[in-house]
Structure 1
Amino acid sequence: MSSGTTRADADSPSAATAPPRSRGNRVEERGIESVPEAERRGRPRELFLVWFSSNMSYLPILLGGSLMMLGLSTWQAVAVLLAGNTFWALVGLLAVSGPSTGSPSAVIMRVLFGVRGNRVIGCGLGWLTAVGFEAINLSITVLAGQALLSEAGIGGSAVSRGVILVLVSVVTFTISVYGYDAILRMSRAITLLLTLSLLVAAVFVAVHAHPGTDGSADAALGPLATALVGFTVVSSGPLSWLSGADYARYLPPTASRRSVAGWTAAGGWLASVFLGLVGVLAGTAVDMTDPMTSMTTLMPAWFHPVFLAAVIVGTLANNVLTSYSSGLLLQGAGVRIRRARAVLLDGVLGGGIALYALVAASFLTALNNILALSVVYMGPIIAIYALDLVLRRNRYGAGELADLRPGGSRPTGVGAAGVSAAGVIAFLAGTLAALLCVNTTLWTGPVSRWLGGADLAAVVGPLVAALGYAALTRTGNARLGRTDRSSDAPREPGAAGTTGSAGTPPVPVVDLRLSAGGLVVIRRTRRSRG
């Protein structure tokens, strides 16, 4: 995209205006760079609201209900729910890389896979997954909206579904364009409303629940195999959040790492577990094949509209966070597109997938397939990211993140072609191992068949990827822990230490700034190779 002002990402909380540019000075946006240290503020505890409110959606309820449909007993389902959500600890760990670099995950993953490798693996697959989850959330919102119209006696035709889908898409993706500040304000506004509404709903569900329910007699698999299939489905929730750094990067570099990780993980975990338990209890009382309609039978008539409205608002909040990060991932994948257009593209693709899901023979079957298959490749990516952060002790060189040239200033192990052999090989090994162990209606791996249908993808994939990455980085003598610490406190372009010294060619990068009018200015700066 050419230089100038664009309606892109209202990322930074303060205003800055670029100096006049000479005519014909055109710079293409190749990614979202770091938020300058002078523009970072806030406290780690603010992350709790962001992650808690965005996960107070209907999806965890669906996941909890699906555990009962698989044929687990109530207490088995609770155990699987708690085990699968332990992956929120990894999401919290990834968030730690945000304050130290000021960069989103789309940029940080360059050191894992290389500039070109990241475009395909980290950003490319991450973006596809985000679009898939956006479609799921849109589908849920449409179902809730249609049920709400039925409560008002309007009925639910195909036309009404289309109208609801368009309206929800417009609201969701409009908020996403305005960036982190808008998301934080939204989180503060809706957290109390959602919490109170869903707590009341939980009470009504608990009154009608039958905790002693055991559906193992109807299970197609044995108890252990069924539990492992459920574990993969539940773990897909936290493993879909590759973007932990995206929201923590607005905090100052002095922010406590333990607090950043803890508040991030706590927000997502608490919301997911609480609503997952509601889904499990609902599954003991009603048929969750048609969850939107069946759950309302557990509540008094006056509360139906309140519950459905809470579902719509909560799912919308989840989609705002997802679409915000998906825009960063698409730009990080090398697509030269303005953020507003990236969000629009997400809306069109997500809406199309949502329409298909709504007319599919079984919505829950389609949902479980998407979730289970996303674990196959997202698990290895997150495992490599987390291990790399630990190995380098959260130290990232400025040159590694800022240089967009495949053969430029690159971290140890990244070849001149812009691909990290260690990261790519470890990812491929982990993904292949997960494919051999996954169990879905679309694909069942040979290891899963040999184990009687047990699904070990969420365990084997990340484990193989992490072990492979550790072995390959040791073999390649990649001294990750000794990376330049200059990025622990990223400097603004033009500040001391950012220009090339004598004999060191400067590296051109692209920076995004928020102008007084709320527009992002893209301009060329010069930064040393780091």
Structure 2
Amino acid sequence: MSKSLRGGEAPPLEATRVETRGIDLVGDEERHGRARDLFSVWAAPNVSVLNFTVGATLTLLLGLEIWQALLVIVASQLLWIFPGIIAVSGPAAGTSGSVIQRAIYGIRGNRIVIAFFGWFISGVFLALNWVASSFMGAELMVRWGFPNHTAALVIVSIVVSAITVLVAVYGHGMIIRAYGYITIALAIVFILVTLFVGPSLDWGFTQPEPLSGLPLWSSITIGFAILASTPLSYSNSADLARYLPRSTKPSSIILATSLGGAIPSILFVGVGALLGSAVSADDVSLGIEYVLLDMLPVWLGPLFVLAVIVNTVALNGMTTYTASMALQSIGIPIKRVPSAVVIGVLGTIFTMVLVLSTSLLGAVNLMLQFLLIISAPTMAVYAADIILRRNRYDGIELFDERPGAPFWYHAGYGWTGLTAAVAGGIASALFISTDLWTGPLAVSVGHLDLSAPAGMLVSAIWYVIGFRITRRSVAS
């Protein structure tokens, strides 16, 4: 195995040292860590103010009762099992998920999928999360006397973006070492916020006009779609697990990843649902963060804003880190560190557009629903491939890009995977229900948003059937 594949010249991973390895294979002698380290890697990004915002949507805008909202929250977060399944492919292959998916889409086909989902969509997600911290940071600056709100938005966005890129540059070592402490600090601040806003919540809340029948199920399915988009977007989980020893139990990886994402999401989206029952739509037209700042004591407000910014850095630092490898996997001759900078610049540009032209609540809900058209099918296909192959991936074969190589397939395209993803995306689009556009099948079933289950089921079934047919034809 060549050093270029193994990355044998890469320095040891330390929190204070820049990680130079990109998609190169991680040798067995360089494997380290425990599966439980992944819990904080996924918990830190999900102790988020966006959980409050999305939770408020369920009761404030969708009209669900508290108990209905809580059931939707728990059901949607069960989908964290999928990032857990995806994560096990990292130690098995010893490389990035953006490379592992060559086994699904082929050498050339994978470049198309990763170029869009692993790179462009990553930039969109960076912006979506930077928007939250930008709004809050700018609001605090204005309250402290800064004269121009727009300038404050730009300043906060640029500063947070720069710190985020720095985390991505230092890479895996910093993420593993620092995120445990970040998780504890964020949990303390968010729990304090919950305790202080608790007396203001209407614990006996009921909707003035309770929903029933199709309107109720429409709200339930739309809420599920919004919440499902978060766990289904993390197809990068293999990147964070790839340094684990090959002998690490897959069940431990799945458990640590799934619980790390699900526990804080269930807790703080639930708090958001309660917040939605105690405020008006006008109060949160620009985002629930403004309401929260008014409900907190003077000393806790700045801590909360700082926690939101730290959470944003944690989430986007991880996203930028994995997206920097996506650029390499599609064949662009760029090292990982400058690649991370390019991703950061892209996300910053998207952030500038969002913070200057839209509200946080509207941006979050609309973006999360539409991203399901891409994330749900690709996540389902990736998980199906892992199960069908029994998580057996040959890292050397994944890097063989010659015609006739194991993953060259038909002229470089894995049509089974590509058509499965497209079919799932079409199914999701047909069943999506948003204020901007509703799919014809969603209309026919009373505006139920079945985009997530439709996209996942269609793509997974299509891929399983195609995979088995292809295997049988090759064997004969």
Contact 1:56 1:315 in 2 (8 A): no
Q: Which range moved further: 188-197 or 418-427?
A: 188-197
Contact 1:434 1:460 in 2 (8 A): yes
Shift of the 224–410 alpha-carbon distance from structure 1 to 2, 3 Å rule, reads same
Provide runs of 4+ in structure 1 moved above 6 Å.
218-221
Q: Which range moved further: 63-72 or 98-107?
A: 63-72
Matched residue type, 1:45: R
Aligned counterpart, 1:422: 416
Matched residue type, 1:213: F
- Cα deviation 1:403-437 (Å, max 9, x = unaligned): 123x24214xx524111111011111111111100
Matched residue type, 2:382: Y
Matched residue type, 1:469: Y
Structure showing greater Rg: 1
Shift of the 209–245 alpha-carbon distance from structure 1 to 2, 3 Å rule, reads same
Q: 1:249, CA displacement in angstroms?
A: 0.6
Q: Out of 399, 404, 420, which is 2:401 matched to?
A: 404
Residue 360 of structure 2 is aligned to residue 368 of structure 1: no
Q: Distance in 2 between matches of 1:31 and 1:408?
A: 25
Aligned counterpart, 2:468: 474
Quote the RMSD (CA, aligned, Å).
Answer: 2.5
Shift of the 151–112 alpha-carbon distance from structure 1 to 2, 3 Å rule, reads same
Shift of the 216–176 alpha-carbon distance from structure 1 to 2, 3 Å rule, reads farther
Shift of the 320–479 alpha-carbon distance from structure 1 to 2, 3 Å rule, reads farther
Shift of the 361–140 alpha-carbon distance from structure 1 to 2, 3 Å rule, reads closer
Q: 1:10, CA displacement in angstroms?
A: 7.2
Contact 1:372 1:438 in 2 (8 A): yes
Residue 273 of structure 2 is aligned to residue 302 of structure 1: no
Shift of the 116–195 alpha-carbon distance from structure 1 to 2, 3 Å rule, reads same
- With the length of structure 1 as denominator, give the TM-score of the two structures: 0.82
Aligned counterpart, 1:275: 268
Q: 1:264, CA displacement in angstroms?
A: 0.7
Q: 1:337, CA displacement in angstroms?
A: 2.3
The 5-angstrom pairing of residues 118-267 of structure 1 reads: 118-215=110-207, 217=209, 222-267=215-260
Q: Distance in 1 between matches of 2:206 and 2:355?
A: 30
Q: Distance in 1 between matches of 2:345 and 2:440?
A: 36
Contact 2:82 2:379 in 1 (8 A): yes
Matched residue type, 1:53: A
Provide the secondary structure at the position in 2 that maps to 1:297.
helix
Aligned counterpart, 1:510: none
Contact 1:146 1:155 in 2 (8 A): no
Aligned counterpart, 1:496: none
Shift of the 323–11 alpha-carbon distance from structure 1 to 2, 3 Å rule, reads farther
Contact 1:94 1:244 in 2 (8 A): yes
Q: Which range moved further: 217-226 or 45-54?
A: 217-226
Q: Out of 48, 51, 59, which is 1:57 matched to?
A: 48
Q: Out of 57, 82, 91, which is 2:83 matched to?
A: 91
Q: Out of 347, 350, 353, which is 1:353 matched to?
A: 350
Q: 1:31, CA displacement in angstroms?
A: 7.0
Contact 2:142 2:152 in 1 (8 A): no
Aligned counterpart, 1:462: 456
Matched residue type, 1:107: V
Q: Distance in 1 between matches of 2:317 and 2:150?
A: 25
Contact 2:128 2:363 in 1 (8 A): no
Matched residue type, 1:368: N
Q: Distance in 1 between matches of 2:12 and 2:452?
A: 36
Contact 2:54 2:269 in 1 (8 A): yes
Provide the secondary structure at the position in 2 that maps to 1:337.
coil
Matched residue type, 1:279: G
Q: 1:159, CA displacement in angstroms?
A: 1.5
Contact 2:373 2:451 in 1 (8 A): yes
- With the length of structure 2 as denominator, give the TM-score of the two structures: 0.91
Contact 1:103 1:246 in 2 (8 A): yes
In structure 2, stretches of 5+ residues that fail to align are 15-19
Q: Distance in 1 between matches of 2:89 and 2:444?
A: 40
- Cα deviation 1:374-431 (Å, max 9, x = unaligned): 11111111101111111111111344312123x24214xx524111111011111111
Shift of the 157–398 alpha-carbon distance from structure 1 to 2, 3 Å rule, reads closer
Q: Distance in 1 between matches of 2:443 and 2:208?
A: 19
User: How many corresponding residue pairs?
Assistant: 458
Percent of aligned pairs sharing the same letter: 34
